[in-house]
């Protein structure tokens, strides 16, 4: 196995963690962490450096002295570091996994290990439940709750994956199945088809007259890292990362019924079948059948999903709505929403550049947005207070705005129907002040506001802080309102409905951040926003060109929240958007 810089950095960090638990001297721990950081951002692979320049070359990397360089050489030649192995041998096996629980630092792990001999996750969970942690120095009843929540989140992370990681794989698998000569139709099902933000396992459905052949070929195709079950109509296996995949093959006449059944959600299926029952119908994965008392009669539908819903007196319900959140009743009334579509998005209003922590220049990001067919793009680098992310100083904001004006002039001269909006991602500070220099405000087309630092565990305070920022009139869009990171970090406590209502009253749009790690607002609160008359803006928060692709995930989230085009400001034309922004400026002038 080749040793990558990231792999080596991981090992050094592990050494630092183990030293931390051993309560070693803090200088030594810091030097390992520093070296790990520096390695992980070092462009040239240590493998190459070592081959070409040996120890001396490795020592040229910041934070790597002679001793560490020798350890890296050892790693390159033997595949491990003896010192790391020695440290590992001093602790039980479970200790490293404990360190992987988010929010559980080496200090806490050291404490529970030394005081209570806790060395794995199960023991820690038990101790927290038994209220044994609250008496340890620096911990309390709150810490027990937090630790339990972290363990739960860690386990969830093992059992669910991000839609953003699964969907591209699902699309590839579906494309290859469709190319099989015996496959008539292929579609994803389950939570992936419903575009849930996280996915447990991946469900695929195909129709064929030769199911055994399709199953055999899929199992043998090498697309699964491991095949766990290969039957005549079903194949189960694992993706490279260990995630489960189920492929089911049905005859074409059952396609609609099977697709409806395996798309779920289970709760939606139950609600649909109970409605059907009242109409003397039975719905299962083979079709829709007449039912009289206990007798199953003639089949009346099932070849298409439309026919299944129609048999129950309903219009076809988009998969994103199938969560038993009122969609069946609404369909029965003929009132299903006309859901937002990706092609209705005319621009992206949250984009970073090399001005702050983005990877591409303003010109590169602008060009990529133009090529996507957008009418506009909003550039929103960080504000001065966010120095860790290279926040722009006032003068730099003015400079960037001038560059944007120049670009826009070029577009105009060339007759190109595309404009850049000069924006800023202004930090919402401790008491809700907006980090926005006065001279910058004057040149900006719009401002998005977000909390990035100084989180308070006090939900009332966080709510007041965000609402104060909205009341300043300086923020046009509230970005990633809860700060959640899916499977990693809970939303910071704030009363979201209050914030959404305030935004509605103050005519501030609320973002659905389309980054698949965030999807913040989530589906439920996006729906609440629309019902409340609060406008939404779906943005990628792109830090590189590839991230512009995230827009689809924001749209899925919106669709799961019943959101229609009219609620989303970046479906508007540039003219409409500018008018709205102007109106806000005048109102607050």
Q: List residues near ligand DGT by CB under 6 A.
A: 190-191, 196, 199-201, 203, 261-262, 264-266, 269-270
Closer to ligand DGT by CB, 191 or 375: give it: 191
Shortest separation between residue 287's beta carbon and Ca ion, angstroms: 21
The minimum distance between CB 442 and ligand DGT, in angstroms, equals: 49
Indicate the helix (H) or strand (E) that contains 67: helix 66-78
Instruction: Pick the closest to residue 209 from 167, 250, 242 (CA basis).
Output: 250
Q: Which of 201, 320, 427, 523 binds Ca ion (CB under 5 A)?
A: 201
Report the largest interatomic distance among the alpha carbons of the chain, rounded to a whole angstrom.
85
Site stretch for Ca ion (CB under 5 A), options 50-58, 178-186, 238-246, 339-347: 238-246
Total number of residues that touch Ca ion (CB under 5 A): 4
**Closer Cβ to ligand DGT, 22 or 265, answer by number:** 265
Nearer to ligand DGT, 195 or 452 (CB): 195
In the complex, the smallest distance separating the C-beta of residue 162 from ligand DGT, rounded to whole angstroms, is 11
Contact of residue 270 among ligand DGT, Ca ion, none (CB under 5-8 Å per partner type): ligand DGT
Of 371, 375, 351, nearest to 571 by C-alpha is 375
Closer of 187 and 203 to ligand DGT (Cβ): 203
Q: Please check whether residue 209 is in contact with residue 252, taking contact to mean a CB–CB distance below 8 angstroms.
A: yes
Question: Cβ-count burial of 583 within 10 angstroms (0-12 exposed, 13-18 middle, 19+ buried)?
Answer: exposed
Give the number of other CB atoms < 10 A from CB of residue 272: 23
CB of 102 to ligand DGT, least distance (A): 21
- Residue 491 DSSP symbol: P
> Among ligand DGT, Ca ion, none, what binds residue 266 when CB lies within 5 to 8 Å by partner kind?
ligand DGT
**Please, which of residues 140-199 interact with Ca ion by CB under 5 A?**
190
Q: How many CB atoms lie within 10 A of CB 552?
A: 18
Q: For residue 135, with 0-12 CB atoms within 10 Å meaning exposed, 13-18 middle and 19 or more buried, which class applies?
A: exposed
Burial classification of residue 159, based on how many CB atoms lie within 10 Å of its CB (0-12 exposed, 13-18 middle, 19 or more buried)? exposed
CB of 121 vs ligand DGT, minimal distance in Å: 22
Write the CB contacts of 539 (distance below 8 Å, at least 6 apart in sequence): 348, 349, 350, 351, 378, 448, 477, 479, 511, 512, 513, 514, 554, 570
By the 8 A CB rule, do 174 and 244 touch?
Answer: no
Please tell me whether residue 511 binds Ca ion under the rule CB under 5 A. no
Looking at the DSSP assignment, which residues form a beta bridge with residue 287?
A: 284
Q: Residue 347 corresponds to which tokens in the numbers above?
A: 């621009």
Residue 201 or 511 with smaller CB distance to Ca ion? 201
Stretch that binds Ca ion, among 140-148, 200-208, 545-553, 579-587 (CB under 5 A): 200-208
Residue list 241-260, contact with Ca ion (CB under 5 A): 246
Contact between 481 and Ca ion per CB under 5 A: no
The Cα–Cα gap between 204 and 247 comes to 5
Judged by CB under 5 A, does residue 237 bind Ca ion? no
Taking the least distance from each CB to Ca ion, the nearer of 5 and 192 is 192
Q: Output the smallest distance, CB 258 to ligand DGT, in A.
A: 10
Binds 425, which of Ca ion, ligand DGT, none (CB < 5 to 8 A, cut-off by type)?
none
Binding partner at 562 among ligand DGT, Ca ion, none, C-beta below 5 to 8 Å by kind:
none
Q: What is the 3-state secondary structure (H, E, C) of 332-354?
A: HCCCCCCECCHHHCCEEEEECCC
| Binding residues vs Ca ion (CB under 5 A) | 190, 201, 203, 246
């Amino acid at each position: 196995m080749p040793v990558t810089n990231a792999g080596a950095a991981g090992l050094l960090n592990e050494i630092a963690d183990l030293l931390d638990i051993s309560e070693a001297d803090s200088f030594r721990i810091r030097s390992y962490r520093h070296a790990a950081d520096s390695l992980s951002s070092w462009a040239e692979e240590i493998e190459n450096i070592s081959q070409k320049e040996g120890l001396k070359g490795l020592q040229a990397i910041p934070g790597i002295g002679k001793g560490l360089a020798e350890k890296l050489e050892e790693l390159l030649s033997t595949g491990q570091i003896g010192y790391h192995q020695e440290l590992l041998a001093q602790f039980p096996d479970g200790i490293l996994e404990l360190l992987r629980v988010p929010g559980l630092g080496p200090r806490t792990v050291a404490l529970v290990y030394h005081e209570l001999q806790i060395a794995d996750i199960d023991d820690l969970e038990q101790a927290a439940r038994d209220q044994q942690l609250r008496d340890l120095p620096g911990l309390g009843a709150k810490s027990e709750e937090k630790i339990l929540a972290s363990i739960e989140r860690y386990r969830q992370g093992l059992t669910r994956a991000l839609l953003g990681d699964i969907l591209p794989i699902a699309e590839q698998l579906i494309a290859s199945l469709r190319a099989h000569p015996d496959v008539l139709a292929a579609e994803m099902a389950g939570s992936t088809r419903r575009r849930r933000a996280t996915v447990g396992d991946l469900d695929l459905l195909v129709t064929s007259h030769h199911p055994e052949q399709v199953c055999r070929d899929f199992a043998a195709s090498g697309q699964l890292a491991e095949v766990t079950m290969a039957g005549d109509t079903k194949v189960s296996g694992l993706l490279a990362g260990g995630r489960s995949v189920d492929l089911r093959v049905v005859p074409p006449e059952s396609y609609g019924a099977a697709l409806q059944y395996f798309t779920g959600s289970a709760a939606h299926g139950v609600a649909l079948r109970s409605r059907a029952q009242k109409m003397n119908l039975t719905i299962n994965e083979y079709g829709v059948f007449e039912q009289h008392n206990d007798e199953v009669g003639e089949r009346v539908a099932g070849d298409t999903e439309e026919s299944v819903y129609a048999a129950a007196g309903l219009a076809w319900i988009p998969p994103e709505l199938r969560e038993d959140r009122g969609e069946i009743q609404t369909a029965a009334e003929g009132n299903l929403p006309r859901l937002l579509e990706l092609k209705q998005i005319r621009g992206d209003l949250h984009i970073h550049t090399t001005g702050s922590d983005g990877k591409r220049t303003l010109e590169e990001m602008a060009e990529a947005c133009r090529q996507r067919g957008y009418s506009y793009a909003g550039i929103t680098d960080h504000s001065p207070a966010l120095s860790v992310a290279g926040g722009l100083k006032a003068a730099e904001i003015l400079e960037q705005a001038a560059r944007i004006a120049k670009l826009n002039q070029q577009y105009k001269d060339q007759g190109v129907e595309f404009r850049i909006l000069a924006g800023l991602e202004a930090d919402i500070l401790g008491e809700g002040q907006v980090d926005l220099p006065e001279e910058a405000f004057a040149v900006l087309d719009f401002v998005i506001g977000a909390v990035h630092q100084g989180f308070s565990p006090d939900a009332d305070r966080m709510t007041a802080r965000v609402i104060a920022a909205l009341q300043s009139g300086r923020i046009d869009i509230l970005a990633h309102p809860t700060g959640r990171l899916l499977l990693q970090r809970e939303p910071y406590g704030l009363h979201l409905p209050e914030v959404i209502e305030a935004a509605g009253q103050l005519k501030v749009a609320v973002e659905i951040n389309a980054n698949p790690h965030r999807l913040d607002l989530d589906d439920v609160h996006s729906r609440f926003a629309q019902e409340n008359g609060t406008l939404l803006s779906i943005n990628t928060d792109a830090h590189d060109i590839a991230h512009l692709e995230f827009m689809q995930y924001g749209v899925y989230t919106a669709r799961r929240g019943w959101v229609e085009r009219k609620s989303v400001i970046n479906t508007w034309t540039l003219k409409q958007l500018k008018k709205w922004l102007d109106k806000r400026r005048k109102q607050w002038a």
